[in-house]
């Protein structure tokens, strides 16, 4: 009987774990935004529309993972200088470049196949996916080094997710909801840069040398205020009016996030959410109250 080499088995397990980490599945939380139009349009019980939205969310999970890997390939050297990012699979050497390129091919194939099967007569959906991919490619190559352009690309991903759902389900997006998404997305993108600026300085990301703390503070809080105003107007636009009572819940979520930024977190929305129980609880409570007021 042949014996299994424990070193080979350990290496295989390590590579598999590295590949999973490279895809950053925890960041798939962001793709839940694809379901937002279905939820707000009271179509969550419409099986056909819900299926299209769920498939669309899966497509964005694969596409966003491919984008993360592409960005990590370009960022290998700078990630090695970063206190937290140096442990990423490519920067640490846990996954080779060859495996990373193969994984990109697999993920893009996983995007193309369901699109061809379920969205084959929807050119708008294809354009939105292409816009997301091209914008992030431009970000990885050049735009991440240009102030304002970098946060614009980061913010655009949120809106593209929601409009992709609108394209595949036919559900229109409220103008106030659009403005809420834009302002909120810029707030999160600026918060991420502000967290990096305060935590790592200007050594790990070139664009941070062209920002200053005052600008990041002022514009971040400006976008936060605009997002709250737009959200408040959206809750009164075409709804029963009861959603206005979710505004205090949203304020509590934002206050907690701001406090964590002041305490030195890196500003990444997903990492911050998953690492803080209080913020996680507030978000869960906000989501529950939102759903109850929307559907009851």
pLDDT beyond 50 at 79? yes
What is the rounded average pLDDT of the residues 267-287?
94
Which of the pair, 188 or 13, is modelled with greater confidence? Answer: 188
Segment 159-180, tens digit of pLDDT: 999 999 999 999 999 999 999 9
What is the rounded average pLDDT of the residues 26-45?
93
In angstroms, the CA 109 to CA 115 distance is: 10
With a pLDDT cut of 70, the percent of the chain lying above it is 92
With a pLDDT cut of 90, the percent of the chain lying above it is 65
> What total number of domains does the chain contain?
2
For residue 60, being part of any structural domain is answered with yes
For residue 247, being part of any structural domain is answered with yes
Containing structural domain, residue 44 = 25-130
pLDDT beyond 70 at 121? yes
In angstroms, the CA 268 to CA 190 distance is: 10
Q: Are residues 112 and 218 in the same domain?
A: no
**pLDDT at site 6:** 52
Q: Are residues 221 and 276 in the same domain?
A: yes
Q: Are residues 216 and 119 in the same domain?
A: no
**Structure pTM?**
0.89
In angstroms, the CA 39 to CA 280 distance is: 20
In angstroms, the CA 168 to CA 124 distance is: 8
């Amino acid at each position: 009987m042949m014996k299994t080499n424990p070193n080979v088995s350990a290496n295989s397990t390590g590579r598999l774990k590295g590949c999973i980490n490279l895809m950053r599945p925890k960041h798939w939380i962001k793709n839940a935004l694809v379901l937002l139009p279905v939820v707000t349009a009271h179509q969550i019980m419409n099986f056909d529309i819900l299926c299209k939205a769920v498939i669309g969310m899966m497509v964005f999970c694969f596409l966003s993972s491919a984008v993360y890997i592409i960005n990590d390939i370009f960022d290998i050297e700078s990630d090695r200088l970063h206190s937290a990012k140096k442990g990423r699979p490519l920067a640490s050497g846990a996954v080779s470049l060859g495996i990373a390129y193969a994984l990109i091919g697999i993920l893009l194939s996983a995007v193309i196949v369901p699109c061809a099967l379920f969205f084959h007569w929807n050119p708008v959906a294809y354009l939105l996916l292409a816009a997301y991919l091209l914008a992030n490619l431009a970000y990885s190559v050049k735009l991440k080094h240009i102030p304002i352009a970098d946060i614009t690309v980061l913010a655009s991903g949120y809106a593209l997710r929601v409009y992709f759902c609108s394209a595949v389900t036919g559900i229109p997006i409220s103008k106030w909801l659009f403005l809420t998404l834009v302002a909120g997305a810029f707030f999160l993108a600026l918060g991420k840069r502000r967290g990096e600026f305060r935590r790592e300085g200007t050594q790990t990301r070139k664009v941070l040398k062209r920002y200053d703390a005052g600008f990041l503070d002022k514009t971040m809080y400006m976008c936060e205020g605009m997002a709250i105003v737009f959200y408040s107007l959206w809750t009164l636009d075409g709804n029963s009016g009861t959603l206005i009572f979710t505004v205090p819940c949203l304020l509590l979520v934002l206050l907690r996030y701001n406090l964590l930024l002041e305490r030195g977190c890196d500003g990444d929305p997903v990492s911050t959410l998953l690492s803080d129980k209080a913020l996680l609880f507030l978000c869960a409570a906000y989501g529950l109250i939102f759903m109850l007021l929307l559907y009851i």
